[in-house]
C-alpha cells in the first residue's frame, strides 16, 4: 500500500526515491546544530559528576549542575527537528521507503550502541561490576539491552550502558515519525498526537502498576521521564519548529534575539528544577512533579527558541557552535554520551587512584609534603573528560563513521539501488 497526498501550503512536496534520503540529509546539514550536540553531551556529563565540585562550589551551584540532565531534552528536541526537517516534505509511506528510512536510522544509531553494550557486558564478565546487570541474569539483560527493550521496564532501564535508556526513546520516535507526518498532513492532527500518546501511557500505568512484571510501565515518574510515551512532547516541539521553518523559511522581520533568549531560558529551567524539593528516593528535582512539567513541557519550548535563533540569526553563539572544533566534538558526542558513564569512566577513575597512591608513595620516599596531580576529584574528572573526548573522536573516525557509510551503502534491509539499478524504478512508484 502507498499513501500519496497533496500537501496544501507545503507546495515543495515531492516523492523521491529512497536512495535520495541520504542526499537529503547532506543538503539539510546545519553545522551549528551539530556543535550543539557537544553542549548537550557535556551538560549530561556534568549532571552525572556534579558531586566532584562539592568542596569548590556552594550547594546551590552543585544543585544546578545536578539538573544539567537538560542535555537529554536538547537531544530529543534536536532529533524531532532534524528528522522532520529532512523528511517531512520528502516522504511516502511505501514499504521500500520505510525500509530505507529505517536503514539510515540504524546506520546512525545502532553500530556503536551495540559494540559499546557488548563491551559493557564483557566488563561485567571480567570484573563482576553489578551496575551492569543490577543483579539480573546477564544474558537476559544483554538481550534486553541489544534490542532496546530494557527501556520499557523500570527495573531494567539503567542496566548495560545506563544512559542508553534514551536510545529506546529515540528509536520509538524514529519508528513513529513517518506516521506522525502522515497524520499531521493528511488529517491535520498534529498537537493531538502527543496528547493521545501521553494519555495512552497513563492508561498503561494504571493497568500495569498493579502487575508485578519487572516494572513494565510500572509508575508515572518512570514513564514520564524515561519512555517516549512520557517525553514525546519534546520531539513534537522539535517537529513543529521544523514545520515552521519549512513553511516560512529562515527569513525574519523581527529582531527578537531568540538565540540568547532561548539559551538563557534553558538554564532558567534548570535553575527552577534545582529549587524544587527532591522527592524521597530520587536524586534531583527533575523527579518532582513540577520538575517533570518544567523538563518535559517548558524546557523544550526554550530549546526550540534557541534552535530557531541558531537557524535565523548570525549570533556569536551560532558562529561558535559552527566552528570546526565544535563540529567535530558534536559529531563524536554520541560516542562521548555512551562512554562518559560506566565501565570506561570506572577504569579511568581506578587508574587515577592508582596513580595517586604511586605519587604519594614517591613523596613518602622523598619526604615531601606535595600535592598529587590526582589528589582532587574535580581534577581527575577533568582528565577523564579530556581522555573520553579523545577516545570518542578516535572511535568516531575509525569505527562509527565508516560503519555508518558502509551500512547505508549496503543491501541491509533493502538493496542499494546504486548497486542494483534494476530496482530503482520500483522504489519510486
Number of C-beta neighbours around residue 194 at 10 A:
21
| Dihedral class, residue 367 (left if φ above 0, else alpha if ψ from -120 to 50, else beta) | left
- Residues whose CB falls within 8 Å of the CB of residue 267, separated by 6 or more in sequence, listed in order: none
Q: Is residue 210's pLDDT more than 70?
A: yes
Reading the block at residue 182, the C-alpha cell is 502522515
Residue 188 within a domain: yes
Band of pLDDT at residue 311, cut at 50, 70 and 90: very high
pLDDT: is 264 or 211 the higher one? 264
Residue 419 within a domain: no
> What pLDDT, on the 0 to 100 scale, is given for residue 413?
87
- β-sheet bridge partners, residue 153: 216
**% residues pLDDT > 90 (the chain):** 83
> What pLDDT, on the 0 to 100 scale, is given for residue 3?
37
**pLDDT tens string 137-151:** 999 999 999 999 999
Residue 132 within a domain: yes
Q: What are phi and psi of 213, to 5 degrees?
A: -125, 65
**pLDDT tens string 84-139:** 999 999 888 889 999 999 999 999 999 999 999 999 999 999 999 999 999 999 99
> What pLDDT, on the 0 to 100 scale, is given for residue 78?
98
> What pLDDT, on the 0 to 100 scale, is given for residue 54?
87
Give the separation between CA 30 and CA 185, rounded to whole angstroms.
25
> What pLDDT, on the 0 to 100 scale, is given for residue 11?
36
* For range 3-28, the mean pLDDT: 38
Q: Is residue 243's pLDDT more than 90?
A: yes
**CB burial class (10 A; 0-12, 13-18, 19+) of residue 41?**
buried
Residue 80 within a domain: yes
* For range 242-253, the mean pLDDT: 92
Query: Average per-residue pLDDT in the chain?
Result: 90
Residue 382 within a domain: no
Q: Is residue 7's pLDDT more than 60?
A: no
- Full domain range(s) for residue 179: 18-331
Reading the block at residue 404, the C-alpha cell is 555508518
Residue 357 within a domain: no
Q: What are phi and psi of 153, to 5 degrees?
A: -120, 125
Number of domains in the chain: 1
Residue 178 within a domain: yes
> What pLDDT, on the 0 to 100 scale, is given for residue 421?
52
Q: Report pTM.
A: 0.91
* For range 205-218, the mean pLDDT: 92
Q: Is residue 6's pLDDT more than 70?
A: no
Torsion 40-276-227-120 (CA) sign: positive
> What pLDDT, on the 0 to 100 scale, is given for residue 10?
36
Band of pLDDT at residue 37, cut at 50, 70 and 90: very high
Residue 12 within a domain: no
> What pLDDT, on the 0 to 100 scale, is given for residue 23?
37
> What pLDDT, on the 0 to 100 scale, is given for residue 28?
66
Q: Is residue 208's pLDDT more than 60?
A: yes
Band of pLDDT at residue 258, cut at 50, 70 and 90: very high
In degrees, rounded to 5, the angle at the alpha carbon of residue 398 between the alpha carbons of residues 394 and 402 is 140
> What pLDDT, on the 0 to 100 scale, is given for residue 177?
97
Amino acid at each position: 500500500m502507498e499513501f500519496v497526498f497533496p500537501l496544501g501550503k507545503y507546495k515543495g512536496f515531492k516523492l523521491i526515491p529512497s536512495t535520495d534520503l541520504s542526499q537529503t540529509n547532506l543538503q539539510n546539514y546545519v553545522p551549528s546544530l551539530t556543535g550543539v550536540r557537544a553542549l548537550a553531551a557535556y551538560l549530561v556529563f556534568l549532571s552525572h559528576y556534579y558531586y566532584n565540585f562539592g568542596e569548590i562550589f556552594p550547594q546551590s551551584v552543585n544543585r544546578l549542575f545536578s539538573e544539567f540532565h537538560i542535555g537529554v531534552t536538547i537531544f530529543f528536541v534536536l532529533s524531532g527537528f532534524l528528522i522532520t526537517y529532512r523528511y517531512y516534505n520528502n516522504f511516502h509511506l511505501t514499504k521500500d521507503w520505510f525500509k530505507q528510512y529505517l536503514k539510515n536510522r540504524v546506520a546512525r544509531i545502532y553500530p556503536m550502541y551495540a559494540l559499546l553494550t557488548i563491551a559493557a557486558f564483557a566488563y561485567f564478565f571480567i570484573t563482576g561490576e553489578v551496575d551492569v546487570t543490577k543483579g539480573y541474569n546477564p544474558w537476559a539483560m544483554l538481550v534486553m539491552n541489544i534490542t532496546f527493550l530494557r527501556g520499557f521496564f523500570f527495573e531494567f532501564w539503567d542496566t548495560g550502558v545506563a544512559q542508553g535508556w534514551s536510545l529506546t526513546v529515540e528509536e520509538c520516535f524514529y519508528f513513529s515519525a513517518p506516521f506522525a507526518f502522515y497524520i499531521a498532513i493528511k488529517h491535520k492532527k498534529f498537537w493531538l498526537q502527543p496528547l493521545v500518546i501521553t494519555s495512552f501511557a497513563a492508561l498503561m500505568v494504571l493497568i500495569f502498576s498493579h502487575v508485578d512484571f519487572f516494572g513494565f510501565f510500572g509508575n508515572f515518574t518512570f514513564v514520564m521521564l524515561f519512555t517516549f510515551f512520557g517525553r514525546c512532547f519534546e520531539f513534537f516541539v522539535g517537529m513543529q519548529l521544523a514545520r515552521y521553518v519549512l513553511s516560512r523559511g529562515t527569513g525574519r522581520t523581527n529582531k527578537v534575539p531568540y538565540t540568547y533568549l532561548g539559551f538563557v531560558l534553558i538554564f532558567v529551567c534548570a535553575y527552577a528544577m534545582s529549587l524544587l524539593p527532591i522527592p524521597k528516593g530520587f536524586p534531583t528535582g527533575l523527579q518532582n512533579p513540577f520538575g517533570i512539567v518544567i523538563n518535559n513541557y517548558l524546557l523544550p519550548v526554550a530549546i526550540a527558541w534557541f534552535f530557531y535563533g541558531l537557524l535565523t540569526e548570525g549570533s556569536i553563539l551560532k558562529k561558535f557552535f559552527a566552528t570546526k572544533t565544535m563540529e567535530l566534538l558534536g559529531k563524536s558526542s554520541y560516542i562521548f554520551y555512551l562512554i562518559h558513564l560506566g565501565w570506561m569512566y570506572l577504569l579511568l577513575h581506578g587508574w587515577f587512584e592508582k596513580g595517586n597512591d604511586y605519587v604519594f608513595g614517591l613523596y613518602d620516599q622523598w619526604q615531601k609534603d606535595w600535592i598529587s596531580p590526582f589528589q582532587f576529584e574535580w581534577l581527575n574528572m577533568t582528565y577523564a573528560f579530556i581522555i573520553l573526548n579523545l577516545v570518542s573522536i578516535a572511535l568516531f573516525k575509525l569505527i562509527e563513521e565508516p560503519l555508518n557509510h558502509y551500512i547505508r551503502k549496503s543491501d541491509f534491509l533493502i538493496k542499494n539501488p546504486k548497486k542494483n539499478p534494476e530496482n530503482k524504478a520500483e522504489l519510486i512508484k
